[in-house]
Amino acid sequence: MQVTVDKIFVNLPVKDLKSSMEFFGNVGFTFNPQFTDDNATCMIIGENIYAMLLVEDYFKTFTKKEISDATKSTEAIIALSAGSRKEVDEIVHRALKAGGTPSNEPIDHGFMYGWSFQDPDGHLWEVFYMEQGQDSE
């Protein structure tokens, strides 16, 4: 039996919620005010894709594990599909201008192009474009 889900929520710990919201707002993302308070915000990535940015102390209430320091280690890379190579570059340039740091140089595989950045908390974001017909479906 194949599992299907309606939505995805990625939960990320952040040190300063206001700064994170300003950073991602400058990248071009919006937030759902219904799920925003002093502890968290719901960043809208796509129609059914969200990142919950949670202040570290609040994030800790969801796990018994230690929170990784994303500036020193990596547990995940959040990959976002863009509509074109140009859009990949635009998103990463906005992230870098907003205070993000470079992660890797652009990678061009011909049918797939990607570039990555780190947000102010050190989380890795990969933005990529894949030509039609090259995905797994």
Q: Is residue 6 part of a domain?
A: yes
Q: Is residue 133 part of a domain?
A: yes
Q: Is residue 89 part of a domain?
A: yes
The residue from 43, 63, 83 where one domain ends is 63
Furthest C-alpha separation in the chain: 45
Convert the pLDDT of each residue in 75-125 to its tens digit: 899 999 999 999 999 999 999 999 999 999 999 999 999 999 999 999 999
Domain co-membership, 43 together with 92: no
Q: How many angstroms separate the Cα of 54 from the Cα of each of 1, 36, 64, 81, 92? A: 33, 10, 15, 23, 23
CATH code, domain carrying 22: 3.10.180.10
Q: Is residue 117 part of a domain?
A: yes
Domain co-membership, 20 together with 55: yes
Domain co-membership, 52 together with 99: no
pLDDT confidence tier of residue 136, bands split at 50, 70 and 90? low
Q: Is residue 107 part of a domain?
A: yes
pLDDT at 134 over 80: no
Residue pair 129/85 in contact (Cβ under 8 Å)? The answer is yes
Convert the pLDDT of each residue in 62-87 to its tens digit: 999 999 999 999 989 999 999 999 99
pLDDT confidence tier of residue 3, bands split at 50, 70 and 90? confident
Residue pair 44/85 in contact (Cβ under 8 Å)? The answer is no
Q: Which domain holds residue 97?
A: 74-137
Domain co-membership, 50 together with 80: no
Q: Where are the beta strands (DSSP E) in the chain?
A: 8-14, 30-32, 40-46, 49-55, 77-81, 101-102, 107-108, 112-118, 124-130
Per-residue pLDDT, 132: 83
Domain count across the chain: 2
Question: What values do phi and psi take at 63, rounded to 5?
Answer: -150, 155
Distance from C-alpha of 47 to C-alpha of 49, rounded to nearest angstrom: 6
Domain co-membership, 99 together with 134: yes
Convert the pLDDT of each residue in 51-60 to its tens digit: 999 999 999 9
Domain co-membership, 59 together with 78: no
